[in-house]
Amino acid sequence: MLLRSATVRDLDRLTARVFECSGRSSSCRLDAYRIDDDYYIDIELPGVDPADIDVTAGDDSLTVRAERKPTGGNEQRNPERKAEPFTREVALAERLDTDRLEARYDNGVLTLRIPLLDEPAAA
């Protein structure tokens, strides 16, 4: 399981909407899922330059920081797409190999792939 429990997952969603996203959940959507031996996290970051995305992985958490830069008058056309910093922290299960984390940014979506740790061979 990617997140430690349903309670932690629900709390993470709530705090993301209340504190980190300032009520603009459209720029903070996060999906986490497993395919075979890999976990994936998709975070919507529309309008963010990939060079402005920082991903930090520790033993038990993953932090994504990004900043959307002003685009010259864009704030007047769409106030929900104004320049703003973004931070999202996700609690990770112990069996994920964050040393082999891979990140891809495509069409405004950051996709992180984290493989499971290899199980030691039984003797």
- DSSP letters, 16-77, are IIIIISTT-GGG--EEEEEETTEEEEEEE-TT--GGGEEEEE-SSEEEEEEEEPP-SSHHHH
Evaluate whether 114 touches 39 at the Cβ level (below 8 Å). yes
The confidence score (pLDDT) of residue 10 equals: 56
| Residue 75, in any domain of the structure | yes
> Is the entire prediction scored with pTM above 0.75?
no
Q: What is the pLDDT of residues 72-98, one digit of tens each?
A: 655 555 555 566 788 888 888 778 888
Give the pLDDT confidence score for residue 21 in this predicted structure.
43
The predicted structure's pLDDT at residue 13: 53
Per-residue pLDDT at 108 exceeds 80: yes
Boundaries of domain holding 98: 6-115
What is the domain-level CATH number for residue 64? 2.60.40.790
22 compared with 103, residue with greater pLDDT: 103
Over the chain, what is the mean pLDDT? 75
Q: Report if residue 120 sits inside a domain.
A: no
